[in-house]
Amino acid sequence: MLNIPDDRSGLNYDIIQQLYYGRLLSCADLSEKIDKSIPLITTALNHLIKAGYVNKQGYAPSSGGRRPLMYALKPDRLFIVTVAMDQLCTRIGMVDLFNNYVTNIETVALDLLNNRQALDSLVKLINDHIASSGISKDRIIGVGIGMPGLVNGKEGINYSYLDAGDTTLAEYLTDAVGLHVYIDNDSTLVALSEMKFGKAKPFRNVMVINLSWGIGLGMVINGQLFRGDDGFAGEFSHIPIDEEGDLCYCGKQGCLESEASLLAIAGKAVKGIRNGRLSKLRSLGDQSPLTLGNTLMELANEGDQYAIELFLDAAYKIGRGLSILIHINNPRAIVLSGRGVKVGKLILAPIQQALNRYCIPRLANNTEILVSDIGFDGELLGAAILVMENFNRDKLLQVPGRPQTNTTY
């Protein structure tokens, strides 16, 4: 995709990647992070400035010594297409290298379960969004996609949804879109966004909970995102919570997902209303699960007693599941992220009550429970980061069938 003619090309990619994460860095900062000499970094920076990818940003505030010159990316030179999928809907946008959206985020209903047309619909959505943006593909680094299911991001395969036949899903999408496409599990990407730009950034050991239609988990261990051998680590949803609970789609009874996810809460709300429970929800008519879940969170924040009761019960069960994680992983912090942070403040207390009941105090007392500031945007941000994680000379090879560009560093 990007034609870099000189033998310093790998260093150029490293500098762009580090400036993406650090936003504003000195030559010495870059030298330390990339582990290259200052003269090499200086030469590469001058090359990137001349090519129009990096700007000088003036001198850092004085700290008693010589003030270092600071550098930052030119944000409007390269772009990333970012896609966030869940079981019911898909969101897509395009960001610059400051993670600012340069297109409006589109949200479309796209049911993944038993939908043979889902993959074609996804390809059309991506291609249409790029076309409507007016940005040429030679300025787009790639496409990052977060999606539910058992996803092996390294191999580019989703074992749960979006069957691509004889090829991998990532290869199929790359050919269909004409850009490099990278996929990973939605909760893993939420954790990646929190690790790079959110509440998990200060910690080396932290669990990130993706509260959505399911309940996902991303794990940061020793400062690294932990995916497991096949990329499937973090199946938090299927921890058994209630042996007498509802049947989960996985075939087991009483899984955390079937008891405390937004879909489970929506189902319980409908059942309760039919059995005579009083709530503002009664006057809102029939709603899709997607709309109902969002409505319940709004009602809970407005003080609807029945909606609050549903979330408090779910949060206590989530806390019980978190107690297992704390005993196994001993994290310094747990970050609540995803769609469900809209009721984050409401659910903190029952989660803590469950931890007080089920956790060894010495472990629980040293684990902070934090509510994400990124929240619902975490998967979209994580999908953009996924592309930058692969931003190097080896990965950005020519896409088969795509005309060679003349973009250089």
pLDDT tens by residue, 143-189: 999 999 889 998 999 999 999 999 999 999 999 999 999 999 999 99
Contacts of residue 99, Cβ cutoff 8 Å, sequence gap at least 6: 197, 381, 384
- Could you give all domains of the chain from N- to C-terminal order, each with its CATH number? 9-73 (1.10.10.10), 79-189+380-389 (3.30.420.40), 202-373 (3.30.420.40)
Examine the pLDDT at 360 and tell me if it is beyond 60: yes
Q: What angle do CA 31, 33, 35 make, to 5 degrees?
A: 55
The string over 232-258, giving b where at least 16 C-beta atoms fall within 10 Å of a residue's C-beta and e elsewhere, is: ebbbbbbbebeeebeebeeeeebbbbb
Confidence (pLDDT) at 286: 66
Confidence (pLDDT) at 323: 95
pTM: 0.88
Q: Alpha-carbon distance 37 to 41, whole Å?
A: 6
Q: Alpha-carbon distance 194 to 336, whole Å?
A: 10
- Which tops the pLDDT comparison, 278 or 212? 212
Residue bearing tokens 């959110």? 198
- Going by pLDDT thresholds of 50, 70 and 90, the confidence category of residue 409 is very low
Tokens describing residue 24? 């504003």
Examine the pLDDT at 230 and tell me if it is beyond 90: no
